[in-house]
Amino acid sequence: MMNIRKYIPLFIALMLVSPLAFVHGCANTTEAPSGGKKDTIPPFITNIRPLPGVTSFPLEGGKIVFDFSEYVTLKTATDIFLSPPLEKRPKASVKGKSVVVTFEGALEPSTTYTLNLNNAIVDNNEGNIFPGFTYVFSTGENIDSMFVTGTVLDCNTLAPVKGATVMLYKDHRDSAVFLERPYAAGRTDDWGFFVIPFIQDTLYRIYAIKDANGNNIYDPDQERVAFIDSLVQPKWKVADTIPELLKYDMTDTLGCKERRSEHELKIFRERPSKQLLMNKVRTSPRSAYITFMASNAWIDSLWIGGYRADQVITQFNIMQDSLEIWLNDRRPAPDTMHLFVNYRKTDSTGIMRPELEHLKMVMDPEVKKNFSKSRRRNLKHEDTICVYTLSAEADKVEQDGFVLEFKYPIIYEKFDSVQFRYINPRQKEFTDKIKVERDSMNLRRYVIRPEVKFQTGFEYFLKIPHRAFRDINGYWSDSTEVKVSLPTDENLSVMHALFTGVDRKYIVDMLNEQKNTVLRNYVIDSDCTLDFPYLKEGKYSIRITDDGNRNSIVDTGDLLSHRQPEPVLFVKFGDEDYIQIPKGSEIDQTINVKELFGY
């Protein structure tokens, strides 16, 4: 067992010089309002009572006093973190130049605790942040000496997750994370990195959560979670020379990246497993929607009082947790729609059983007002037609075609009357055929694709003639025409990406530099070349998802089923996970998917 007391002088010495360790660059010479130099040095600890490493700490009524070099205040007391956590957070108060920490509730016997001050304390004048300190003590006779490290990443962007709570359990039951506070815990920093020191040498289950309510217990209804499939045993001992145990300035990129990360956890939001009907909304006299708690709702039958089955149109969203409903009937709709839904609902024992629910869908007063007789006396033209949008994006029309989307389902269509024509650079006009595809996940959306190959310098026109469509309200469509031409900016670039080693289904996304917008999306299941045209000069990322269940959706994980979210990787271009696209260039890139995933 490590004798931590021999390191106490070192801990205090580190606190005395800690301000120097977190100051980068030259001193700030900006004049303060008083005429003197602005104080940029954070406070530091001058003494701790009792000293770190104390044993036989009282189970109740104990306190820890941190004396500082200057007057301080608590910026965020919730950042003071105790491991193992108690039911209530530690209580901190300021007395002069000291911070006093006490505990509400009894500590566990024969247990090693760590108290992390994090960024909770600032000086009283300039708000300089104390860089933090981890204090260790034990209610038993010994201090545990092992530690583990790791990194928590977002499962979709692979970005580091700051402020996640990482929890170790000696209780290996799957239910422990739902019911109990952990044996030990830590928080991730700006780099998603965590270290949990002073723990026993034994086997643990390890989880990470974004703890929304601060209770250190996983709440699947509102929190994200990550887990490691296998049991974890710490392999490193605490020592004064361990870089992973030091406090780092988060702007010290080199130092932060050099820390050893043993475990990688990818955090995700579970889809609720408990199924019930959550919400109902009447959106118009002839439309409504209902939502379910969990995806893949199982409806045995559905009907609306006073209407035949063939008068009811329904459509699930892609996750099958929201159902849109329309009435194909021109009679005045009732103020209250009586909807009957016979579906599989989770009972109190967790079993899904048939349940018939009668939903009274009363029209919202504001919705009713918009469709009232007085409103109809002031009807605008758009109130009496089949409303739709027809659009085409110049840089995506080759892949996405022309998109036609109706506000309400249509009951009559005449797509053979839709006209497509184009004009070449010599102003000669041509017509050509089109293909119409109905969106499998949206019955009101159609994609219209010309059979001709798009060319630069040509102008393309798609025209919807008058009365080509009629919707469930009985209204006919007006005519419209959309014009589109391919981009001609010579500064735009194109990347041809050859994907090899494709032996299963993958989802391929091109994202912007911030990785928050999908610019192009493809689904592939064999070797192929994908084109990424019309790229402005800049940085782009290629994200590839292993679509294990072949549903063309990036699926999340499931904790109790021990199913991780579908694997996501970003293509590495050299040492970076983005490619720099110069202007006006044509780039050929080969991506070996099998090699990337290591299969």
Q: Are residues 143 and 238 in the same domain?
A: yes
Q: Are residues 296 and 239 in the same domain?
A: no
Mean pLDDT over residues 259-267, rounded?
A: 97
Answer yes or no: is pLDDT of 31 > 90.
no
Q: Are residues 363 and 399 in the same domain?
A: no
**Considering the domain boundaries, does residue 65 fall inside one?**
yes
**Considering the domain boundaries, does residue 138 fall inside one?**
yes
Q: How many of the other CB atoms lie within 10 Å of CB of 504? A: 15
Cβ contacts of 505 within 8 Å, gap of 6 or more? 523, 524, 525, 547, 550, 552
Answer yes or no: is pLDDT of 22 > 60.
no
Asked if 153 contacts 160 with a C-beta cutoff of 8 angstroms, the reply is: yes
Q: What is the pLDDT of residues 199-254, one digit of tens each?
A: 999 999 999 999 999 999 999 888 999 999 999 999 999 998 899 999 888 999 99
Q: Are residues 364 and 448 in the same domain?
A: no
Q: What is the pLDDT of residues 311-338, one digit of tens each?
A: 999 999 989 999 999 999 989 889 999 9
Q: Are residues 480 and 566 in the same domain?
A: no
Q: Are residues 204 and 312 in the same domain?
A: no
Q: What is the pLDDT of residues 524-543, one digit of tens each?
A: 999 999 999 999 999 999 99
Banded pLDDT at 10 (limits 50, 70, 90): very low
**Considering the domain boundaries, does residue 264 fall inside one?**
no
What backbone phi and psi angles, to 5 degrees, belong to 494?
-135, 140
Q: What is the pLDDT of residues 424-451, one digit of tens each?
A: 999 999 999 999 999 999 999 999 999 9
Q: Where are the alpha helices (DSSP H) in 187-265?
A: 253-257
Q: What is the pLDDT of residues 52-61, one digit of tens each?
A: 999 999 999 9
The average confidence (pLDDT) of the chain is: 90
∠ CA 289-295-296, rounded to 5°: 95
Domains in the chain: how many in total?
4
Q: Are residues 167 and 185 in the same domain?
A: yes
Q: How far apart are CA 589 and CA 591, in angstroms?
A: 7
Task: Determine the structural domain holding residue 311 and report its residue range.
Answer: 277-373
Residue 330 has which token pair?
């021109």
**Considering the domain boundaries, does residue 368 fall inside one?**
yes
Q: Which domain CATH number covers 549? A: 2.60.40.10
Domain C-terminal end among 373, 405, 422: 373
Q: Are residues 140 and 173 in the same domain?
A: yes
Q: What is the pLDDT of residues 132-186, one digit of tens each?
A: 899 999 999 999 999 999 999 999 999 999 999 999 999 999 999 999 999 999 9
